[in-house]
Structure 1
Amino acid sequence: MEHYVSIWPVLLLALIHFYGTRLRFLAGVPRSVWLSGAGGVSVAYVFLHLFPELNEGQEHVEQAFVGEGFLRHHVYIMALIGLSVFYGLERKIVIAKKEEQEKKGEAKPPAGLFWVHIGSFGIYNALIGYILFTREEGPLTQLMLFSIAMALHFILNDFGLQEHHQERYRKYGRWLLVLALVAGWSTGYVVELSHTLVVLVLSFVGGGVILNVLKEELPEERKSRYWAFALGAFLYAMLLLSL
C-alpha cells in the first residue's frame, strides 16, 4: 500500500481527541454500554490479533537478543512493562486526587503530575501513530482492524483523562495527544525501525491497552456494564476469527 493510506486512520484518531469528550450521551453513571462495549472490542483485538502476531515476531526478538531464561521472552516482558507503567501512573493520579480533595476540597491532580500523565500518553500515542504507518506494509484488513480497535480505545482514554484532569485536558492535554499521534506517524517517513523494535513497541502498546481498558471498567463506582463489555469482546472476536 502507498504511505498515504494510513493518514485516514490518523485523522480519525485525531478527531476522536478533538470531539470524543463532547459525546455527552457516553458520560455519566452507570457507565455507558457503548464505552463498556468499546473496551471489550479493544481487549479482544489485543488477545486474538495482536498477541498472536507478537508470538510470531518473538523469533526476530530472540535472534536480536541472544540469551537464556527471561531474555528469551522480551515480547512478553515488554507487554508486562506497558501494563505496569500505566498501572503505576493511574495509582499515582488516584492517590493525588484524594490528597487534593482532602487539602483543597477539589479532586484534581497537581499541574506537574498532569504533565507527567499526559506526557506518558503522548509517548503512547506516538507509538500507536508509528504502528499505523508500519501497518501499510501489510494487508488493508490488518490496518483497518487495528484502526477500529484503537479508535474505540481512544474514546475510552479520552473519557478517563477528562475525568482526571477536567479543564486542563480540554485546554492542553488533547492537543498534545493529537500532536504526538501525528508526530509518531510522520516519524515513519524519516526513521525505519527494525522489525524487532516494531514488535517490542507493539507489545508495550498491547500491555498498555489491557490496563487502560480494565482500569476504566473495574472501579465499582463506575457501575460498568459487564454484559456490554462481554458482548463487544465476543462480537469483535468473531469478526477477527472469521478473517
Structure 2
Amino acid sequence: MDHPVSIWPVLALVLIHFFGMRLRFLSGLPRSIWLSGAGGVSVAYVFLHLFPELNEGQEHIEDAVQALSFLRHHVYLMALLGLAVFYGLERSVVSSRKENQKDSSDEQASPGVFWVHIGSFALYNALIGYILFQREEGPVQEMLLFAIAMALHFIVNDFGLQDHHQHMYRRMGRWVLVTALLAGWLTGFLVEMPQSVIVLLMAFVGGGVVLNVLKEELPEERESRYWAFLVGATVYSVLLLAI
C-alpha cells in the first residue's frame, strides 16, 4: 500500500499512551466526566457498529468452520471470550493488590501479575493495530470511526492501568503497549489473514472493550458519572446511525 492512511490514527494512539496520563484534569474523584463520556463512546461503537459488522461477517465463519457446526452461528463466543479473559485478568490484579497491601502496604500488584496483565493488553493493542490497518481496505470514515472510539478507549485504559500498576506502568508498561500497537499495525504489511480470522479477532476486541469500560465505571468508589457515560454513548450513537 503506497499511502497507508492508517499511519496517522496509529500515531495518535501512540501519543495517547505517551501523554494521556499527563491530562491531570482527568484524574481524581469523583470520576472525570470526560473519562465516563469516553467510555460511553467506546461501548456505543461496539454495540452499534462493530457487533453488526460481525453479524455481516458471519458467512465467513460459516465457510471456515463447516466441521464445527455448533460454532457457525456463534461468532459472539469470541466476544464472550474477550470479556471473560479481561474479567479474569482484572480479578487477578485486584486480588494481588489486596494481598500486597496486607503484607507490605504496597498497593501495586505483584511483578508477575503486572507482566501477565500488561502482556494481555499488549496482545489486545496488537490486535487493534492490525484491525486498524485492515480498515485501509474500506471507506476512510469507517477507519476514522474505529480510530476515534479506540483513542478514547485507550485513554480510559491508561488511567485504569496506571491506577493498578502506578510507576511500573509509567516506566515500562506503556512502552510495551506502544510497541505492541505498532507491531500489530506493521504486521498488516506482512500478513494477510483470512476474513474469517479478522472477524473473530474483532469479536474478541469487542468483548474486551465492553469489559474494560464497564470495570472502570461500575465500582462504587470511582463515583462515576452515569449521565456523562450516557451522553457519550448517545452522541456517538447518533453519529454512527447518521452516517
Query: TM (normalized to structure 1)?
Result: 0.98
Contact kept? 1:41, 1:233, Cα under 8 Å: yes
User: Given residue 39 of structure 1, which amino acid in structure 2 is its aligned partner?
Assistant: G
Contact kept? 1:38, 1:156, Cα under 8 Å: yes
Q: Say what the alpha-carbon RMSD is for the aligned residues.
A: 1.1
CA–CA separation in structure 2 for the residues paired with 1:77 and 1:65: 13
Could you say which residue in structure 2 is the equivalent of 1:175? Answer: 175
Could you say which residue in structure 2 is the equivalent of 1:226? Answer: 226
Return the offset for 1:70: 3.2
Could you say which residue in structure 1 is the equivalent of 2:14? Answer: 14
User: Given residue 128 of structure 2, which amino acid in structure 1 is its aligned partner?
Assistant: I
Alpha-carbon deviations, 1:77-115, whole Å to 9, x = none?
100000000000000000110111111011111111101
Could you say which residue in structure 1 is the equivalent of 2:28? Answer: 28
Matched-pair identity in %: 69
Size of the aligned set, in residue pairs, is 243
Contact kept? 1:42, 1:149, Cα under 8 Å: yes
CA–CA separation in structure 2 for the residues paired with 1:2 and 1:45: 29
Could you say which residue in structure 2 is the equivalent of 1:158? Answer: 158
5+ residue gaps, structure 1, are none
Alpha-carbon deviations, 1:186-215, whole Å to 9, x = none?
001111000000000000000000000000
Could you say which residue in structure 1 is the equivalent of 2:42? Answer: 42
Query: TM (normalized to structure 2)?
Result: 0.98
After TM superposition, the runs of 4+ consecutive aligned structure 1 residues lying more than 2 A away are 67-70
Contact kept? 1:123, 1:180, Cα under 8 Å: yes
5+ residue gaps, structure 2, are none
Contact kept? 1:157, 1:212, Cα under 8 Å: yes
Could you say which residue in structure 2 is the equivalent of 1:125? Answer: 125
Return the offset for 1:74: 4.0
Contact kept? 1:131, 1:202, Cα under 8 Å: yes
**What pairs up with 1:24-173 in 2 under 5 angstroms?**
24-67=24-67, 70-173=70-173
Return the offset for 1:73: 3.0
Return the offset for 1:3: 4.6
Return the offset for 1:2: 5.0
Contact kept? 1:125, 1:180, Cα under 8 Å: yes
Return the offset for 1:161: 0.2
Return the offset for 1:41: 0.2
CA–CA separation in structure 2 for the residues paired with 1:35 and 1:235: 15
Return the offset for 1:68: 6.3
CA–CA separation in structure 1 for the residues paired with 2:98 and 2:61: 42
CA–CA separation in structure 2 for the residues paired with 1:104 and 1:170: 21
SS at match of 1:73: coil
Contact kept? 1:39, 1:232, Cα under 8 Å: yes
Contact kept? 1:3, 1:136, Cα under 8 Å: no
User: Given residue 70 of structure 1, which amino acid in structure 2 is its aligned partner?
Assistant: F
CA–CA separation in structure 2 for the residues paired with 1:15 and 1:68: 42
CA–CA separation in structure 1 for the residues paired with 2:119 and 2:3: 27
SS at match of 2:190: coil
Could you say which residue in structure 1 is the equivalent of 2:214? Answer: 214
